[in-house]
């Protein structure tokens, strides 16, 4: 149980980078971008083929992210300059990327089992610190018997993801970032305030897919393989993370939402892990579970709010009624 | 400052809904001139605003700002020179962003946007000072989301966002039409004050004839895509609403028709 939850957090923090990307398009730009399913794999594919060809993992990962950025820019171009509907631009790019990803890898799956990945490097550096034996010792003292093989990935990925969050927060508060946010809020206005909305949209969708591809590149290295189909349903997972996060933690400020999105991604992985432990559910049901989670996260807050309002009103009515009664007696 | 020459624009040319919205418009405005525009429904008032702002490109004709031909520049490249307040109070502000963020975006209108913070301490102080001039208490609500403001407050903010960077040309298209009378009066007074204080070159469409006469130093009347009447200075001051209606009747041989007209 602990081990599988540990795994959920580990992959959740990596997925969180993808979810931040999805947040940028869906929420900030109000651009329903479906490129994600493709660009996640693009990141994985570029990183994997680079690593297999002996490029240092850190550069391989960066190249994966850049490839995703370019793919996103093309989606943005299709929409702004090609005047293609946003959804369709994303679908077209996603479809094209399937073939492109196959070309990049040269085969449908690519294993990195015997390669040095960013995480295997990390683990060997980490091993020297002795933090693992300390933490596992702690776990043993509370009676756990199985220990995670390494804490390195969780720790470092949390730092990386939070760093990306802070950079995103800052970016969205700069002059450029404000204009980017206004695109999703009031495009006509920001154009009349001399912002080039086309360029901003292109760059915005690019950055978003850069995040997604970075997440893909890291995820591939975590599992030591890249598969041309590993991106299927990624967009829904990203959305699930955004929606769960917003529902649980609110969206008062940018900094709050980005944190919520990260937590949402981790919680999503945890829910899926728990669900898969239920006997009659198996991995094939995961998409259904995801859909149900998203629907719940969308519907529940509104239902709760309506209930609360109803209760408040009826209480108020009662209170007034009592007052009126009191008045008539007086 | 602003010069329009031989502007014509036809919507849906060659189809059944062909509509000649502007027909050979010529207009020249001096720096600091405050021109009010009246005209019947569909006269082309909004269209001409859109041609000036770059929202629409005319079929023929040229637009010069400060002697520079801008007719082929897209809207975002013209907007460093042009400030606009829209009729719809929702159109001029970003509702899910805060008052200070909206002001920061407006502040960047005349500059190249950079990767530095939009809202700084120094700017906050400046925004506060400007908001104080509106005198509706917005200076204490810098971090409130604009979506929470009333229509009148939002329109006052839009007006401030547009004018505090002193645009070379200020375009106002019925910017008080969506407000109730007392709010409309507030916005009108603010407009009058800021235009006078900053000496902005202004083109303002209004449906209030008395207002068109009282405000500004020049008045033009449009009908069917043409400017049919143009008065300024002392001549404008002497005119009454009845004169305007008579004038229209004389020129067009028809009643002035406008479902939203306010005679004063
Ligand atoms: N995008 C468009 N497509 C087709 N016709 C249009 C379009 N925009 C405006 N028109 C037509 O052009 C004419 C001029 O419109 P415009 O909006 O400039 O009028 P207006 O003077 O602002 O009128 P109002 O006082 O009602 O606001 C109208 O007949 C209108 O129907
Ligand atoms: Mg109009």
Segment B181-202, tens digit of pLDDT: 888 898 999 999 999 999 999 9
Give the model's confidence band at B40: pLDDT under 50 very low, under 70 low, under 90 confident, else very high: confident
Report in angstroms the alpha-carbon separations of A105 from A51, A52, A56, A228, B60. Answer: 11, 10, 17, 8, 54
How many residues are recorded in chain A? 330
pLDDT the model gives residue B258 = 67
Q: Which residue of A has its CA nearest to B116?
A: A174
| Residue of B77, B91, B108 with shortest CB distance to A193 | B108
Segment B89-104, tens digit of pLDDT: 999 999 999 999 999 9
Q: Which residues of B touch A186 (CB under 8 A)?
A: 90-91, 93-95
Segment B143-168, tens digit of pLDDT: 999 999 999 999 999 999 999 999 99
Task: Give the range among A5-19, A66-80, B205-219 with minimum mean pLDDT.
Answer: B205-219
Residue B208 included in any domain: yes
Structure tokens at B153: 């407050």
pLDDT the model gives residue B262 = 67
Give the model's confidence band at B260: pLDDT under 50 very low, under 70 low, under 90 confident, else very high: low
Segment A300-327, tens digit of pLDDT: 888 888 999 999 999 988 888 888 777 7
Segment A142-196, tens digit of pLDDT: 888 888 888 999 999 999 999 999 999 999 999 999 999 999 999 999 999 999 9
Residue B91 included in any domain: no
User: Where in the sequence is the domain holding B33, given as residue range(s)?
Assistant: 1-81+169-174+201-264
Return the residue whose CA atom lies nearest to atom 18 of ligand 1: B44
**Which domain CATH number covers B252?**
3.40.50.300
DSSP type of residue B253: S
Cα–Cα dist B43/B54, whole Å: 19
Long-range CB pairs of A122-130 (<8 Å, 24+ gap) are: A122/A152, A122/A153, A122/A156, A123/A150, A123/A152, A123/A153, A125/A152, A126/A150, A126/A151, A126/A152, A126/A156, A127/A152
| Residue of B75, B113, B161 with shortest CB distance to A175 | B113
pLDDT the model gives residue A280 = 87
Q: What percent of chain A has pLDDT over 70?
A: 99
More confident residue, A19 or A273: A19
Segment A111-143, tens digit of pLDDT: 999 999 999 999 989 888 888 888 888 888 888
Q: What is the CB < 6 Å shell around ligand 1?
A: B 11-12, 19, 21, 39, 41-47
Cα–Cα dist A172/B242, whole Å: 54
Q: Which residues of A touch B91 (CB under 8 A)?
A: 186, 188-189
A189 contact B CB<8A? yes
Give the model's confidence band at A16: pLDDT under 50 very low, under 70 low, under 90 confident, else very high: very high
> What's the gap in Å between the CA of A181 and the closest CA on chain B?
8
Give the model's confidence band at A291: pLDDT under 50 very low, under 70 low, under 90 confident, else very high: confident
More confident residue, B248 or A93: A93
Segment B102-137, tens digit of pLDDT: 999 999 999 999 999 999 999 999 999 999 998 899
Query: Mean of the pLDDT values across residues B34-39?
Result: 94
- The reply to whether residue B117 touches residue A192, judged by beta carbons under 8 angstroms, is no
Q: Which residues of B touch A178 (CB under 8 A)?
A: 97, 101, 104-105, 108, 118
> What's the gap in Å between the CA of A171 and the closest CA on chain B?
7
pLDDT the model gives residue B259 = 64
pLDDT the model gives residue B167 = 95
Q: Which residues of A touch B76 (CB under 8 A)?
A: 191, 194-197
Return the residue whose CA atom lies nearest to atom 31 of ligand 1: B42
pLDDT the model gives residue B247 = 82
Q: Which residue has the tokens 């085969």?
A: A107
> How does strand B218-223 pair with strand B19-29?
unpaired
Residue B257 included in any domain: yes
Whether the per-residue pLDDT at A285 is higher than 90: the answer is no
Structure tokens at A13: 């923090």
Query: Mean of the pLDDT values across residues B200-227?
Result: 91
Ligand 2 centroid distance, CA of B232 (Å): 23
Residue B187 included in any domain: no
Whether the per-residue pLDDT at B76 is higher than 70: the answer is yes
Whether the per-residue pLDDT at B263 is higher than 70: the answer is no
Q: What percent of chain A has pLDDT over 90?
A: 72
Domain count within chain B? 1
Segment A218-266, tens digit of pLDDT: 999 999 999 999 999 899 999 999 999 998 898 889 999 999 999 999 9
Cα–Cα dist B45/A159, whole Å: 57
> What's the gap in Å between the CA of B75 and the closest CA on chain A?
7
Return the residue whose CA atom lies nearest to atom 26 of ligand 1: B41
Q: In what order do the strands lie in the sheet with B82-85?
A: B82-85, B169-173, B201-205, B34-39, B218-223, B226-232
Residue B29 included in any domain: yes
Whether the per-residue pLDDT at B255 is higher than 80: the answer is no
Whether the per-residue pLDDT at B171 is higher than 60: the answer is yes
Ligand 2 centroid distance, CA of B225 (Å): 12
Residue B140 included in any domain: no
Left (φ > 0), alpha (ψ -120 to 50) or beta: where does A290 sit?
alpha
Q: Best residue in A166, A167, A171, A194 to probe B by mutation, most B CBs within 10 Å? A: A194
Residue B88 included in any domain: no
DSSP type of residue B116: S
Residue B157 included in any domain: no
Please give the mean pLDDT across all residues of chain B: 91
Structure tokens at A163: 């760093």
Q: Which ligand is nearest to the CA of B207?
A: 1
Instruction: Please identify among residues 151-170 of chain A the ones whose CB lies closer than 8 Å to any CB of chain B.
Output: 170
- The reply to whether residue B76 touches residue A195, judged by beta carbons under 8 angstroms, is yes
């Amino acid at each position: 149980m602990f081990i599988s939850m540990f795994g959920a957090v580990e992959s959740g923090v990596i997925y969180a980078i993808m979810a931040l990307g999805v947040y940028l398009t869906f929420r900030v730009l109000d651009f329903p971008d479906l490129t994600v399913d493709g660009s996640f794999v693009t990141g994985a594919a570029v990183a994997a083929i680079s690593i297999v060809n002996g490029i240092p993992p850190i550069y391989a990962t960066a190249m994966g992210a850049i490839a995703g950025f370019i793919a996103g820019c093309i989606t943005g171009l299709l929409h702004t300059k090609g005047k293609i509907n946003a959804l369709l631009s994303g679908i077209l790019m996603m479809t094209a990327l399937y073939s492109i990803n196959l070309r990049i890898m040269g085969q449908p799956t690519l294993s990195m089992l015997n390669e040095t990945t960013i995480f295997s490097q990390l683990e060997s550096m980490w091993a020297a610190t002795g933090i693992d034996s300390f933490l596992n010792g702690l776990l043993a003292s509370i009676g756990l018997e199985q220990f995670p093989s390494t804490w390195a990935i969780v720790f470092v990925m949390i730092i990386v993801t939070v760093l990306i969050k802070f950079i995103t927060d800052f970016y969205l508060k700069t002059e450029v970032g404000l204009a980017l946010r206004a695109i999703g809020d009031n495009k006509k206005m920001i154009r009349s305030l001399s912002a080039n909305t086309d360029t901003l949209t292109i760059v915005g969708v690019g950055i978003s897919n850069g995040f997604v591809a970075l997440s893909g590149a890291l995820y591939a290295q975590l599992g030591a393989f890249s598969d041309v189909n590993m991106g299927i349903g990624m967009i829904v997972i990203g959305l699930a993370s955004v929606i769960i996060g917003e529902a649980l933690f609110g969206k008062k400020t940018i900094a709050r939402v980005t944190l919520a999105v990260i937590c949402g991604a981790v919680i999503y992985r945890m829910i899926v892990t728990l669900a898969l432990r239920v006997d009659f559910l198996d991995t094939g049901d995961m998409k259904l579970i995801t859909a149900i989670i998203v629907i719940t996260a969308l519907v529940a807050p509104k239902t709760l709010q309506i209930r609360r309002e109803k209760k408040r009103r009826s209480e108020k009515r009662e209170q007034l009624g009592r007052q009126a009664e009191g008045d008539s007696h007086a | 400052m602003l010069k329009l020459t031989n502007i014509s624009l036809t919507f849906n040319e060659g189809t059944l809904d062909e509509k000649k919205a502007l027909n050979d418009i010529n207009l020249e405005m001096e720096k600091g001139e405050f021109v009010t525009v009246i005209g019947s429904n569909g006269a082309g008032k909004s269209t001409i605003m859109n041609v000036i702002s770059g929202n629409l490109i005319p079929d023929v004709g040229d637009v010069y700002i400060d002697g520079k031909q801008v007719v082929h520049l897209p809207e975002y490249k013209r907007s460093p020179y042009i400030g606009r307040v829209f009729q719809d109070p929702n159109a001029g502000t970003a509702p899910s962003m805060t008052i200070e963020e909206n002001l920061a975006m407006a502040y960047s209108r005349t500059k190249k946007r950079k990767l530095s913070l939009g809202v700084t301490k120094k700017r906050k102080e400046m925004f506060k000072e400007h908001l104080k001039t509106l005198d509706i208490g917005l200076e204490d609500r810098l971090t409130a989301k604009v979506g929470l403001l009333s229509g009148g407050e939002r329109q006052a903010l839009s007006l401030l966002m547009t004018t505090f960077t002193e645009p070379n040309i200020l375009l106002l298209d019925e910017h008080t039409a969506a407000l109730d009378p007392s709010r409309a009066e507030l916005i009108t007074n603010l407009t009058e004050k800021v235009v006078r204080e900053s000496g902005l070159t202004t083109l303002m469409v209004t449906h209030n004839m008395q207002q068109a006469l009282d405000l500004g130093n020049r008045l033009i009347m449009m009908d069917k895509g043409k400017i049919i009447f143009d008065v300024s200075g002392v001549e404008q001051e002497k005119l009454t609403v009845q004169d305007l209606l008579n004038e229209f009747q004389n020129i067009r041989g028809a009643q002035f028709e406008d479902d939203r007209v306010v005679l004063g």
